[in-house]
Amino acid sequence: MSGLKRTRGQRLVGTIASAAVVGMLGNSVATAAPAPATLNTPPSTYWFSDWEVKTNVAAPANFYPTPNANNGNVAAVQGQLNSAPANKPLGIQVYEGSLSNATASSLFNTHYTGDKAISYVFADFEQGTTGQQVSAVQGLVNQVRGSKWSTNAYVGQLDLTPLKGVGPDVKGGYDPFARGPLPYDNYISGKKQIDAYKASKVNMANTALYPGNSSFRNKSTFDWANKNIRTGLFVAPIGRMTAVQNSLDKDFHGHSDSKTNDGDFIKLEKDKHKQIPSVTRFNNSGNNSLDTDNNPANGWQFVPGAPLAQAGLSGTQTQNQMMGRGDFSAQVLHYRMRGAYSVMLFEPGVVGYSKAQMHNDVRDGWFGQSDPHVAHINNIYAQKDSKRATMTLNPIVDGVQLSDDGKSGFRSEQTGTIWSGEYSKNLKQLDILASNLDTIDHMVKFGKIDAYDVFTLTGTGAHANDTYDGASNLTATRNIKIEAGLHRLLQFDLVTTRVYNNSNFTGSGHTKTIWLLNQNYQVFTNNAGRNDTGIPEPTTFGILATAGSMAVVCRRQRRKA
């Protein structure tokens, strides 16, 4: 993520501009440090970040500027922050090295236009050992907390999360689909990554969720319980995001309610750790298992339809195995439904896939920019009692239910099928997104949500037969079919109705309050790109292809891989 170096003349101009900015801000009257600016105000206001959106001028709709800050560009950064409209949050990135105390004081103590403070600080220290990186993060956190104006900001370091290790205990904070150790395991001998997270005193988990990343298990690595690459690209990042959020909820007030603006608002908000993952559609940097020509010298490329010899897969087996644009949008909505506060975008990672398209796909996924059926969920989120419907990675698929502890495996991995949801009892509505990235159809049962059974087959009321026998005639079930490669948005109402004991909706039964299916929509259908070529990122790919240089990739290896 290295930025362009500034000339001595540019720094001089910036210094003059900085003095002018400070002069303009001399009339600020606010004295108490503000709470961090919110990124989500359903049903209509949402903000995302993008590591390439450095300037306010270039910031597209729903994205706020996060200029890269270093010790030589304070004036330029402050100019961008001061030019942001009053309704936009303010953020910065720090990845070229530690900030001096003078730089930090200037950035974090400035009252920006409208008495705004920097609310989000995204660090990506890659220099030195992991122990030195944690120390650099500690220093940055201390600078932010020691400031008088931006002291309440959220601060995070890329992929520094409160995970305890790799394994099946998702609820306990273990990454179920990872390969090898976590990035910050043994930052101090014998210490786990969660220890590094605590020691750094960050309050934001910037989880790296890059489909194709070498840290994820997949069919190509011979340790994924599904024959399709695409299922791993889709499910594994959702699994990691879920494990991180479980840890935040359990130990870092990640799910505490701080919506009321009372005297404890700022304290609650700062203590409530948030997850803003770094996301992309694809990034296989350094992952030889997904390099179809098995030649990293020309850049890692995953070409669907080409043989993947090192994984023993033919061209036929790799066809349609890239995540499409609709799949990426669906993945983003799963992140939201499982507790992510927003997302930070990395480079697109797919040939011919532009950043503008990526921005649209995030909007489509998060709040349903182009689909009113998806946008329906925003009204649920706007309710004070809105809650997540599930965090399971073991949905009941094809009548098979595995223990949620993961010791017997994960149905989402085995079937490429997963669901997430959000509901409000006040509104009496439940929205479920069910995704099947497998190449065969699957049946999903949702069971019980908040003490109420979920019914997917209706007539005059509902019927109570909830078995799945695998037969083609499924009229006597509470399961619903999710076709191969599709995403379905299911909308339920909380109703009190007659529940019959047979599928003819006649005879004996009883009155019961249940979630009853109202609408079943196919969503996120823009998936023609499942045969697109995946690469680490366009800029790196071009450098490798033209110059054969590995220097840029090596310096930023952890950022991409």
The pLDDT tens digits for 45-80 are 999 999 898 877 778 999 999 999 999 999 999 999
Rounded Cα distance between 418 and 267, Å, is 36
Average pLDDT over residues 133-145: 98
Bridge-partner residues for 278, per DSSP?
208, 344
Give yes or no for residue 13 having a pLDDT over 60: no
Which pLDDT value is given to residue 255? 67
Which residues are CB-contacts of 121 (< 8 A; sequence separation ≥ 6)?
Answer: 91, 92, 93, 94, 140, 144, 150, 153, 154, 155, 156
What is the pairing mode between strands 344-345 and 49-50? parallel
pLDDT band at 465 (very low <50, low <70, confident <90, very high): low
| Better pLDDT: 266 or 439 | 439
Average pLDDT over residues 516-542: 86
Average pLDDT over residues 209-238: 97
Rounded Cα distance between 163 and 174, Å, is 6
Rounded Cα distance between 525 and 272, Å, is 36
Task: Give Cα 419 to chain centroid, integer Å.
Answer: 15
Which pLDDT value is given to residue 501? 75
Sheet holding 396-397, edge to edge: 396-397, 442-445, 480-482
417 in Cβ contact with 442 (< 8 Å): yes
- The CA-based dihedral angle spanning residues 545, 547, 551, 557, taken in that order and rounded to the nearest 10 degrees: -10
Which pLDDT value is given to residue 454? 94
Average pLDDT over residues 472-478: 54
Average pLDDT over residues 258-262: 41
523 in Cβ contact with 487 (< 8 Å): yes
Q: Can you list the positions of beta strands (E) in 269-416? A: 274-275, 278-279, 344-345, 387-388, 396-397
Using CA atoms, how far residue 153 sits from 118, 199, 377, in Å, is: 6, 17, 28
Which pLDDT value is given to residue 31? 80
Give yes or no for residue 476 having a pLDDT over 60: no
pLDDT band at 271 (very low <50, low <70, confident <90, very high): low
pLDDT band at 478 (very low <50, low <70, confident <90, very high): confident
Which residues are CB-contacts of 464 (< 8 A; sequence separation ≥ 6)?
Answer: 499, 500, 501, 509
Residue 32 per-residue DSSP state: S
Which pLDDT value is given to residue 510? 84
Which pLDDT value is given to residue 444? 94
Average pLDDT over residues 235-249: 97
Rounded Cα distance between 336 and 433, Å, is 11
Which pLDDT value is given to residue 551? 31
Helix (H, G, I), strand (E, B) or coil at 94: strand
Structure tokens at 281: 């559609």
Which pLDDT value is given to residue 58? 72
Which pLDDT value is given to residue 479? 87
| Better pLDDT: 393 or 266 | 393
For 254-265, give one letter per residue: b (16+ CB within 10 A) or e: beeebeeeeeee
pLDDT band at 541 (very low <50, low <70, confident <90, very high): very low
Task: Give Cα 148 to chain centroid, integer Å.
Answer: 31
Which pLDDT value is given to residue 538? 59
pLDDT tens digits, 145-182: 999 999 999 999 999 999 999 999 999 999 999 998 99
| Better pLDDT: 4 or 483 | 483
Average pLDDT over residues 106-124: 96
Q: What is the reported pTM?
A: 0.90
Task: Give Cα 321 to chain centroid, integer Å.
Answer: 21
Residue 508 per-residue DSSP state: S
Give yes or no for residue 4 having a pLDDT over 90: no
Average pLDDT over residues 491-519: 86
Structure tokens at 20: 């002018």
Give yes or no for residue 543 having a pLDDT over 90: no
pLDDT band at 6 (very low <50, low <70, confident <90, very high): very low
Average pLDDT over residues 423-452: 96
Average pLDDT over residues 404-424: 97
Which pLDDT value is given to residue 8? 29
Pick from 270, 353, 312: which is nearest to 528 by CA?
353
Which pLDDT value is given to residue 464? 63
Rounded Cα distance between 523 and 368, Å, is 10
Rounded Cα distance between 416 and 413, Å, is 5
Structure tokens at 520: 């079943």
518 in Cβ contact with 491 (< 8 Å): yes
